[in-house]
Structure 1
Amino acid sequence: MPEQNNASAKRFAVMDLGTNTFHLLIAEKSTEGFRIVHQQTEAVKIGEGGINKGIIQQAAFSRGIKAMQDFKKHIDEAAATEVRAIATSALRNAANGNDFIAEVKAQAGIQIEIIDGAKEAAFIYKGIEASGVLTEKNSLIVDIGGGSVEFIIGNEDETLWKQSFEIGAARLMDKFHKVDPMNVVSIKAMTAYLNQQLVPLFQAAMQYKPTFLIGSSGAFESFAEVIELEAGRKFDLKSTKSYEFDTDDLLYLIERLIKSTHAKRATMKGIIPVRVDMIVSASLLTIYLMQKLGLVDVWMSTYSLKEGVLAEMMGR
């Protein structure tokens, strides 16, 4: 349950409506930046069965409406007065995306904004910046969503380059992850596809020479959680803003995930159910980037798009 409303504190609600998960963050300003009043994630899987066909299937459509009605209840209980719902790749590219938006407005009273890839990348940078993980050196920020992947090269002062690519984990899984574990032929096909799709990224990396790879939430949170829990250490994502990977630990985990079966991944503590299958294509993309761009210093930030939207709403 959300905490009781403090009449003197203005409350903000941000919804990030992704391809796999819908997120709700309700917060108020604090000296640290913001204080979370309520936070929840729903595994809506809006792209399930239709991600590469450009359609939201009926079951996914219904799950999405139900999640938005639930979010509205929490927003009202917390008495949040400024509300934004941001939709990205799956809704951006779905033929019936506008039908979903109209239905959410009618059923939950929430107006959804569809943003393009450039705006999505800008919000992600703002979120990463708020986490404090950026330095004066250039970093490559990677946000692996289900529908799209955003790449941003920047530092603590500015964004130098950004681009969104429609090669998210759900799209890659649908295209290449036909057998489990993935076979060598499929992995080679995916590598060839990434070589073709990511030419603008390679050109930007040559120009700006990023030193660090920063993974924005999502699969990177799972990587960190699995590594820490398997080492017998306590790890709380909710109280973590950023995390530095031991490169050997990360590469060892990625190798295991790529070779694993669904049943094996489902038993691994730290991998939420909605990520059990998509983490394979996310793992392949991560190791591909590390090897292709020679990036061995890898960090994770739990802050992403929704924190970036929140920072903008709070005027930060």
Structure 2
Amino acid sequence: MKLAVIDLGTNTFHLIIAEQSASEIHVLYKTNQPVKLGENITANNSIIPAAFKRGITCLKEFRAELDKHDVDVIKATATSGVRSAKNGLDFVKAAKEQANIEIDIIDGDEEAQYIYEGVKWSGAIKGKSLIMDIGGGSTEFILCDENTLVWKKSYNIGAARLMQRFFKSDPINVTDQKAIISHLDEELKALKVICHEYKPKTLIGSAGAFETFAGMISPKIDISKISTTTISFPAYTELANNLIKATHAERANMKGLIPLRVDMIVMASLLTNYILNELDIKKIKLSTYDLKMGVLQSLKA
């Protein structure tokens, strides 16, 4: 049986096609496109026409790939960018009419659950951990260990959302950084309370920005061929500080930094630094398995 998952993120649309035989899942094809559906979404809480068009064009291309592979089961999930937009349902309707793809808008709780299942599948969870998935529109946090999901919550503090609201200088100045930290102080009160009680020892970054961190620190690692790896804490700290201090032009010339993340990586660095500092965590891991792998896991017969 062939299974497919489409993950409609605020920045990037992902497609993964896999084949299940017995209880094994073998990935046949995967791709992603930097659709930037959430471009200027904070202006009037709406998917702008250009982004709307890019999204539908991408889904038409995904549909062609699905037909080529003769997929049996398709699950398309939309997260913060669609669920928070005034015209999100219009996008869902257009996707069905123009690309014959039915989209399930999942809430933050479902999103965090899928992320947990994906990260658990990667084998990254060892002992008390905090999973962090930095999306464009939202960021999910999951407290867990190998056997139990203890607590989960989705916050509207994704990298694109933070960037559109706070990133007004180049390189980002102290005033903008303080504004972000003040915003995180206000937004993440519940997270800090429960983490101070649970005391996670490891921060597990789910794909996205953490793949960029790992790839820039260790260029010899083939991120596409691993499910999890440890990220050196001192190396991360040095990299994050360099990214924050750099201008847009300087970051654009850094090896391992894709164009989509040239500015958003600054938001991801500030957010990650905030979590590490506030919760006194000194161990970082990457899970390349994220929401889409959790969704894929749920489709297993």
Aligned position for 1:258: 244
TM-score normalised per structure 2? 0.98
Aligned position for 1:7: none
CA contact (8 A) 1:52 1:171 kept: no
**Counterpart residue type for residue 170 of structure 1:** A
Distance 1:196 1:186 in 2: 16
CA contact (8 A) 1:51 1:170 kept: no
Aligned position for 1:77: 68
Query: Which 5+ residue runs of structure 1 have no aligned equivalent?
Result: 1-9
1:35 offset after TM fit, Å? 1.3
User: Are 1:118 and 2:109 counterparts?
Assistant: yes
My pick for the range that moved more, 263-272 or 192-201, is 263-272
1:207 offset after TM fit, Å? 2.1
Aligned position for 1:180: 170
1:94 offset after TM fit, Å? 0.4
1:51 offset after TM fit, Å? 3.6
Aligned position for 2:234: 248
Distance 1:176 1:220 in 2: 21
1:240 offset after TM fit, Å? 1.2
Provide the secondary structure at the position in 2 that maps to 1:40.
Answer: strand
1:30 offset after TM fit, Å? 5.5
The aligned runs of 1:4-153 (5 Å cut-off) are: 10-29=1-20, 33-51=24-42, 53-135=44-126, 137-153=127-143
User: Are 1:237 and 2:223 counterparts?
Assistant: yes
Q: What is the CA deviation profile of residues 153-173 of structure 1, one whole-angstrom value per residue up to 9, with x for unaligned ones?
A: 001101000000001001111
Provide the secondary structure at the position in 2 that maps to 1:172.
Answer: helix
CA contact (8 A) 2:23 2:300 kept: no
Aligned position for 1:303: 289
TM-score normalised per structure 1? 0.93
Aligned position for 2:298: 312
1:45 offset after TM fit, Å? 0.1
1:239 offset after TM fit, Å? 0.2
Provide the secondary structure at the position in 2 that maps to 1:214.
Answer: strand
CA contact (8 A) 1:129 1:156 kept: yes
Distance 1:116 1:280 in 2: 26
Runs of 4+ in 1 over 6 A off after TM superposition: none
Aligned position for 2:187: 197
Query: Which 5+ residue runs of structure 2 have no aligned equivalent?
Result: none
Distance 1:216 1:115 in 2: 18
Aligned length: 301
CA contact (8 A) 1:147 1:169 kept: yes
1:235 offset after TM fit, Å? 2.1
Provide the secondary structure at the position in 1 that maps to 2:142.
Answer: strand
Provide the secondary structure at the position in 2 that maps to 1:253.
Answer: helix
CA-atom RMSD in angstroms: 1.2
My pick for the range that moved more, 46-55 or 278-287, is 46-55
CA contact (8 A) 1:90 1:147 kept: yes
Alpha carbons of 1:32 and 1:244: their partners in 2 closer, same or farther (altered >3 Å)?
Answer: farther
Distance 1:30 1:208 in 2: 39
**Counterpart residue type for residue 216 of structure 1:** S
Distance 2:266 2:44 in 1: 21
Provide the secondary structure at the position in 2 that maps to 1:34.
Answer: strand
1:29 offset after TM fit, Å? 2.4
Alpha carbons of 1:33 and 1:303: their partners in 2 closer, same or farther (altered >3 Å)?
Answer: farther
